[in-house]
């Protein structure tokens, strides 16, 4: 049991160390070349787009809950009890999909929470390098 927790911690540390965007927050951008900083900016932009699209799709499941409720009441009113039961089960399923998807996005795209800060740090470093190059 203890070995499992140690391996899990080591995997987490290894994942965090291999995440360059997270490393910029922790140690700064000075250790990266200009090309790498531009690539990291593009990577951050791509992650933000993917995260926003996924969150929008998962939000549609949340918004669909009132539709499932209405469909349940309508099918019950028309006497379609088997269909009404399916609609009733879709209410918690849609909520569960939304919650699971939100946690997935939060875990998988955790850099997006700090995207503005990371982008600002990279831009400041690139600007500083441009000024240093023009002075020399």
Cβ atoms of 98 and 9 within 8 Å: the answer is no
- Put residue 28 in one of left, alpha, beta given phi > 0 → left and psi -120 to 50 → alpha: left
Distances (CA, A) of 99 to 22, 110, 134: 25, 16, 51
Smallest CA-to-CA distance from 102 within 69, 67, 60 is with 60
Domain contains 67: yes
Q: Calculate ∠ Cα 47-117-36, nearest 5°.
A: 60
Domain contains 36: no
The tens place of each residue's pLDDT in the chain, 136 residues long, gives 667 777 777 777 767 666 777 788 887 888 888 898 899 899 999 999 999 999 999 999 999 999 999 999 999 999 999 999 999 999 999 999 999 999 999 888 888 888 888 899 999 988 998 888 787 6
Domain contains 72: yes
Task: Work out how many domains the chain is built from and give that number.
Answer: 1
| Residue 69 DSSP code | H
Domain contains 32: no
Give the residue numbers spanning the domain of 104.
49-136
Domain contains 39: no
Q: Residues, the chain, total?
A: 136
Domain contains 42: no
| Residue 32 DSSP code | S
Domain contains 85: yes
Task: Answer whether 0.85 is exceeded by the pTM.
Answer: no
Domain contains 91: yes
């Amino acid at each position: 049991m203890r070995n499992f927790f140690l391996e899990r911690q080591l995997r987490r540390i290894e994942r965090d160390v291999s995440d360059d965007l997270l490393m910029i927050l922790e140690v700064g951008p000075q250790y990266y070349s200009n090309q790498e900083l531009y690539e990291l900016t593009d990577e951050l932009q791509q992650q933000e787009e993917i995260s926003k699209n996924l969150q929008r799709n998962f939000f549609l499941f949340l918004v669909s809950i009132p539709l499932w409720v209405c469909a349940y009441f309508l099918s019950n009113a028309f006497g379609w009890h088997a269909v009404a039961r399916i609609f009733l089960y879709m209410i918690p399923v849609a909520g569960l999909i939304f919650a699971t998807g939100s946690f997935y996005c939060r875990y998988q795209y955790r850099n997006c929470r700090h995207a503005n800060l990371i982008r600002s740090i990279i831009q400041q470093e690139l600007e500083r390098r441009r000024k240093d190059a023009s002075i020399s």
